[in-house]
Amino acid sequence: MRRITSACLLQTMRFDNLNGENPEQELEIYCKKLDMKKAAYAIEEKTVQPGGALLVKIKRQYNQYKTDGYLE
């Protein structure tokens, strides 16, 4: 039998500045939502793209699994 003992997602997300929205503010809102869910996360890299979009690489907890060794 197999069991998942720890898990983590590595995501690349793009926050656009459509309709005059601030990508940094959108990222902050996203992080606050993760905090409210008590999901562990770590921002690996943030890059401003031409045109003002924000490209973010983030590691985050998958469901409620432990993140042993992933987010250190």
The DSSP string of 34-69 is HHHTT--EEEEEEEEPTTS-EEEEEEEE-TT---TT
pLDDT value of residue 37: 93
Q: What is the pLDDT of residues 5-61, one digit of tens each?
A: 888 999 999 999 888 789 999 999 999 999 999 999 999 999 999 988 999 999 999
How far is 72 from 63, CA to CA, in rounded Å? 18
pTM score:
0.84
- pLDDT (mean) for 60-65: 90
